[in-house]
Copies of this chain bind each other. A is one copy, B any other.
Amino acid sequence: MTGPLLNKPPIEFYFDFISPFGYLGSTQIDAIAARHGRTVDWRPVLIGITVMKIMGIKPLTETPLKKDYLRHDAPRMARLLGVPFCPPEQKGGNSLAASRAFLWLKDFDEGLARRFAHAIYARRWAQGRDISDPQSVVEVATPLGVDAGELLAAIDSPRAKQDLKDAVDLAVGKGVFGVPYFIVDGEPIWGSDRLWMLEHWLSHGSWDRAPPMQSGAQ
């Protein structure tokens, strides 16, 4: 910390509710930002549905070798971070409805949208339950004070669909290809395994302070 940094731009945090690593990042980013006097702009993307098509690659869950590594990796990363982790038994699913709901809520109240995001992530990755069905999104949102009928209408509206499409296009334009993905002061940082790197930048504003990985590991 070098004093008040209120004029610094927010950390852009790109996430997809369908990603366990996005979940892991979501459990840390607000506290990391707060420690450095920064704010966070939460931005949903659709990695599985949209971004991988642009990259021309298949889903990670269908990639030999890597899929086994990732299945082993997510729970141990959760242990390292000290957060609950219980992946859903049923595979698949998508984050369309939840992401549209998030953007609709964000228009009204960023804090509410963030509480909703944490609750959706918890449902999917700490409780192992579905989030694809709009009704499941309603179950998460109504305890936060959101009107079920308005939410369902919003999820299904052309406006919400367009807003999410625009959000994905904007993210792709910035190079986002996976989650969690952070952009801080123009520096792109990808992965829940790179929170150390995000903190390094927030502390030093440079990559030159060596040797951070040696001293940073313990």
Point out residues on A near B: beta carbons under 8 Å.
Answer: 28, 31-32, 51, 54-58, 63-66, 68-69, 72, 76-77, 79-82, 172, 175-178, 187-188, 190-191, 193-200, 203, 207-208, 210-214, 216-218
Contact = CB atoms under 8 A, between A and B. Distances in A.
A55 B51 contact: no
Contacts of A178: 66
Contacts of A76: 187, 207
A65 B213 contact: no
7 contacts: A55-B65, A57-B58, A65-B175, A72-B188, A80-B200, A193-B193, A216-B216
In the assembly, how many copies of this chain are there?
2
A84 to B, nearest CB: 12
Nearest to A190: B69
Nearest to A62: B56
A79 B196 contact: no
